[in-house]
Amino acid sequence: MKYLSFPELREKLGGRGRSTVYRDIELGRLPKPIKLGGRLYWVESAVDDALIGQLHAA
């Protein structure tokens, strides 16, 4: 299982802005992060699943 830091997540999302990323999390478009050692990380496979789900919903 690979974890993405916030900068890695933004890069994966094409440089999306910080507020946009957190808005997408609030709206359920992206998975919630997990806290490891005081920092936030996202499970890459969960992010990929969310992005695929959005493609199929469109």
Each residue's pLDDT expressed in tens, for the chain with a length of 58 residues: 999 999 999 999 999 999 999 999 999 999 999 999 999 999 999 999 999 988 777 6
Structural contact between residues 50 and 31, judged by C-beta atoms closer than 8 angstroms: yes
Q: Return phi, psi of residue 27, to 5°.
A: -85, 0
Q: What is the largest CA-CA distance in the chain?
A: 37
- Token pair in block for residue 53: 């789900």
* pLDDT number for residue 55: 79
E strand or H helix that includes residue 37: none
* pLDDT number for residue 11: 96
* pLDDT number for residue 56: 79
Rounded CA-CA distance 31/3 in Å is 12
